[in-house]
Amino acid sequence: MSRALWTLAVLLSHWRRHPMQLATLLVGLISATALWSGVQALNQQARASYDRAAATLGGARTAMLVGRDGESFSQHFFVDLRRAGWPVSPVVEGRIRIDGRSVRLLGIEPLSLPVEASSAPAIGTKGLQGFLLPPGQTLLAPETLAELKLSEGATPTTANGINLPPLTLQSQLAPGVLVVDIGAAQRLLEMPDRISRLLVGRAGKGTRAPLQTVTGDQLRLVEPDAETDLERLTDSFHLNLTAFGLLSFLVGLFIVNSAIGLAFEQRRPMLRTLRACGASARMLNTVMVLELTALALLAGLIGLVCGYVIAATLLPDVAASLRGLYGAQIPGELSLRPQWWFAGIAISVIGALAAASTSLLKAIRLPILIAAQPYAWQQAQHRWLLAQGAAALAVFAAGLGFLLFGDSLLSGFAVLAAILLGAALGLPAILGLVLFLGERTTRQPLARWFWADSRLQLSGLSLALMALLLALGVNVGVGTMVESFSRTFNGWLDGRLAAEIYLNAASDTQAAEIKAWLRPRPEVQAILPRGRAEVQIGGLPVEVIGFADHLTYRDNWPLLQSAAEVWDRVARGDGALVSEQLARRLNLRLGDRIEVPTGAGRWPLDVVAIYADYGNPKGQISVGFDALVAHFPGSAQTAFGLRVAPAQVPALVTALRDRFKLDNRSLADRSALKAESKRIFNRTFAVTAALNAFTLGIAGVALLTSLLTLSNSRLPQLAPLWAIGITRRRLALIELMKTLSVALITALLALPLGLLVAWCLIAVVNVKAFGWRLPFEIFPLQLLQLLGVAMLASLLAALPPILKLMRMQPAKLVKVFADER
């Protein structure tokens, strides 16, 4: 035992002499653990809040009975089904306006609410009687209360003049929803004796009569989903985050790998001495594993703390992204479960051991006396390059297969993964080939040595270069995608926001008053009413928008595809514009027919155009305003746009604001709306940009540590050149050139790789994840910039070992001939 302790002490002394190396190792482990656990924490937080939302909805996790067309139905079905043995519970759902803000209202019946779908236990502790008996309660999450800027116990008035039951905090509730008793909900939503859906409990009450015999064909059963709509929608986002986390983790392990490789290289004489002194290979190995585990535990803990900080910093952006993209509500405060800590520590230790495995294996097999065998080594490397190249080809082939035959988001990500993995695996072979060609084209001895020695260095550098390739490729890919999106989005915004002022009145009465006030004003060129109704088509939530027939739309609205006489047909009321997402989900083409369920039956519409509707999680159909009002008499008609001479906009906005007490949410001019939209857009991609920068930074550190490792073990190669008369300065310059040239080749290879990644993101992943396809554009300036950053990172990484070489004492170079190998 004491022998093992002494061995450990000897091994540890190495770190005392090389604190930078220890720092590198720890930085690698910490960054790997931090990013991975940070991303996990974000995903966990989001998933937990989806669960919370699903539980409140009693939605996707519970089987449901819904109306044939997704419309509300008579309450007597509830009683009929209960009497026929069905464990059903009624739910009424709708939106109400409080102080100009639209909020989701859920009416539940706590006594029959299925245990598995309910927040009833929570209600129970607060006193069911308080919830049921007048004045009742409006349950809401603290976030919602803050958003409404109200205090507990308040009884706000809705747009239709009815007071809500007193607001009561219920922290288990999902944000963005108000929960009241079903009776109160029916009153607030003006849906007397109607219910939106019936939750079907799992607990059987004995036999139940067949659904048909109880409700005829009025209701249909929707089986519970394994995952909620939100989870399905946001899967891509989380997969994306996870992919970034994994990439950073792997790059971090590259650092660990090269740091441990370096330590091993430097401790080789020490190990030999210890072995010669009688320490067994097994004991040496055990002690090294223990040493590594201890370091990994330490780094894992620090990494977890950093991960927490990263997650907490990114959370607001992630929450903004998810809200912007999917309408998902994520609370802004991070809460972590103990499993997260254990998983983080475990992944740090496992990662460290995996990264160290090659070095440890070498240590096991370490002969006490070893001779340098450069030629045999080169032969082995050749075979290794060939094998890796073959693996790269196989991975590419698999990726092509996924592209051709896959039709899901997952297959899209599989294509991406195959492209990245294949490129990484193929990199050493390609570099080897380029260097081999370089060697063939030169005659001059020193130049030949330059190429040949670069090839020799390849195996030591290849992992770091792979990291660089991946980081750069992903940066190029994501950068191109975001830039493409950004340009398309801006152009689209300009077209869609054609009116100068946008208004949203608090009620139909106020809307009428505002219109009456506006009509005589000379600066108002046109009032463009906008109506809105919500329906379900094919199980998807779809908003139906009614817009006025006006030149504003005819001239400006950018359509992706359109049939002849689009605007006339829409104005006539038999044609509809369909959003790209909806068209993809329902597989609609121009000329197809779509049936919109209305209160009075189905409304058949021809698809006359398809338009982009970026950032909307719901499907959308746009029809003529008059047609919408005719088919949805009760739809909200409080929104409208105004055409005003640009110079008069500020004055009119001020006048409207003062006259009708409208706030920023209900009244905005075009520039403010555009700025807000762009702000949301940028925030959505802030997370991506941050993770991008992290990854590139880690790749730079990986390159640095690899070069440090190499510079030490390469003295025997350099000393002979020095001995035959090449100055240290010249030698250093050659070394720098070598590093920069392989880095440059790698960076150049990363450009096409990145574009391929961008294409895959735009043409495959985006389409599957969001339902929209963007035009693919290349931004040369952005590529040059990234190339510059990569070369700068390589230069910075290459400098420390080069400077060390330049300042190396000649005696040390001479010593190479005296000892070692």
Partner 1 sequence: MSASFKLTRRGFAGGLMLLGLGRAVRAQGFAGLGGEAGGFAPVLPGRPLTFPTDHGPHPEFRIEWWYLTANLTDANGAAYGAQWTLFRQAMAPGPQRDGWANQQIWMGHAAVTSAATHRYAEAFARGGVGQAGVTATPFRAWIDAWEMRGGEAMADTTLSPLDVAASAADFSYTLRLTAERPLVLQGDSGYSRKSERGQASYYYSQPFFAARGSISIDGKPIEVTGRAWMDREWSSQPLSSDQTGWDWFSLHLQSGEKLMLFRLRQADGRNYFAGNWIGLDGKSVQLSATAIEIRPTASTAIGERQLPTSWRIAIPERGLSIDTIPLNPSSWMGTSFPYWEGPIAFSGSQSGIGYLEMTGY
Strands 593-598 and 194-195: unpaired
Quote the CA–CA distance of 637 and 697 in Å, as a whole number. 52
Residue with tokens 């990145």: 754
The 85-104 contact track toward partner 1, x by CB under 8 A, reads x-------------------
Among 5, 79, 370, 723, indicate the residue that binds partner 1 (CB under 8 A): 79
Binding region for partner 1 (CB under 8 A) out of 61-69, 108-116, 575-583, 784-792 = 108-116
Q: How many CB atoms lie within 10 A of CB 695?
A: 26
Nearer to partner 1, 134 or 634 (CB): 134
Answer yes or no whether residue 162 interacts with partner 1 by CB under 8 A: no
Strand ranges, E, within 513-557: 524-537, 540-547
Quote the CA–CA distance of 313 and 694 in Å, as a whole number. 14
Quote the CA–CA distance of 26 and 30 in Å, as a whole number. 6
Q: How far is the CB of 111 from partner 1 (least distance, A)?
A: 4
The 507-546 contact track toward partner 1, x by CB under 8 A, reads ----------------------------------------
Strands 101-108 and 177-181: parallel
Answer yes or no whether residue 78 interacts with partner 1 by CB under 8 A: yes
- What one-character-per-residue DSSP string does 220-289 give? EEEPPPSS-HHHHHHHHHHHHHHHHHHHHHHHHHHHHHHHHHHHHHHHHHHHHHHHHTT--HHHHHHHHH
CB 531 within 8 A of CB 621: no
Among 186, 321, 705, 711, indicate the residue that binds partner 1 (CB under 8 A): 186
Answer yes or no whether residue 197 interacts with partner 1 by CB under 8 A: no
Nearer to partner 1, 204 or 646 (CB): 204
Q: How far is the CB of 204 from partner 1 (least distance, A)?
A: 4
Quote the CA–CA distance of 49 and 54 in Å, as a whole number. 8
List binders of partner 1 among 38-77 (CB under 8 A). Answer: 75-76
Answer yes or no whether residue 205 interacts with partner 1 by CB under 8 A: yes
Among 135, 153, 204, 558, indicate the residue that binds partner 1 (CB under 8 A): 204
Q: Among 96, 287, 294, 328, which Cα is nearest to 189's? A: 96
Q: How far is the CB of 65 from partner 1 (least distance, A)?
A: 15
Instruction: Give the CA diameter of the chain.
Output: 102
Nearer to partner 1, 109 or 143 (CB): 109
Nearer to partner 1, 78 or 567 (CB): 78
Among 5, 133, 372, 437, indicate the residue that binds partner 1 (CB under 8 A): 133
Nearer to partner 1, 123 or 425 (CB): 123
Answer yes or no whether residue 111 interacts with partner 1 by CB under 8 A: yes
Among 55, 117, 159, 182, indicate the residue that binds partner 1 (CB under 8 A): 182
Q: How far is the CB of 557 from partner 1 (least distance, A)?
A: 46
Nearer to partner 1, 182 or 424 (CB): 182
Q: Among 49, 66, 240, 259, which Cα is nearest to 141's? A: 49
Nearer to partner 1, 92 or 745 (CB): 92
Answer yes or no whether residue 386 interacts with partner 1 by CB under 8 A: no
Nearer to partner 1, 128 or 791 (CB): 128
Nearer to partner 1, 74 or 486 (CB): 74
Q: Omega into 135 within 30° of 0, i.e. cis?
A: yes
Quote the CA–CA distance of 715 and 390 in Å, as a whole number. 33
Quote the CA–CA distance of 643 and 630 in Å, as a whole number. 25
Among 142, 166, 183, 599, indicate the residue that binds partner 1 (CB under 8 A): 183
Answer yes or no whether residue 193 interacts with partner 1 by CB under 8 A: yes
Quote the CA–CA distance of 620 and 535 in Å, as a whole number. 10
Quote the CA–CA distance of 245 and 444 in Å, as a whole number. 46
Nearer to partner 1, 74 or 717 (CB): 74
Total number of residues that touch partner 1 (CB under 8 A): 31
Among 2, 17, 149, 206, indicate the residue that binds partner 1 (CB under 8 A): 206
Among 6, 8, 130, 560, indicate the residue that binds partner 1 (CB under 8 A): 130
Quote the CA–CA distance of 532 and 656 in Å, as a whole number. 23
Segments in 442-575 forming alpha helices (H): 445-496, 508-518, 551-556, 566-572
Contacts of 218 (CB under 8 A, 6+ apart): 67, 68, 73, 77
Answer yes or no whether residue 809 interacts with partner 1 by CB under 8 A: no
Nearer to partner 1, 186 or 638 (CB): 186
Answer yes or no whether residue 812 interacts with partner 1 by CB under 8 A: no
In the complex, the residues that contact partner 1 under the rule CB under 8 A are: 75-76, 78-79, 82-85, 109, 111-112, 124, 126-130, 132-134, 181-183, 186, 193, 203-208
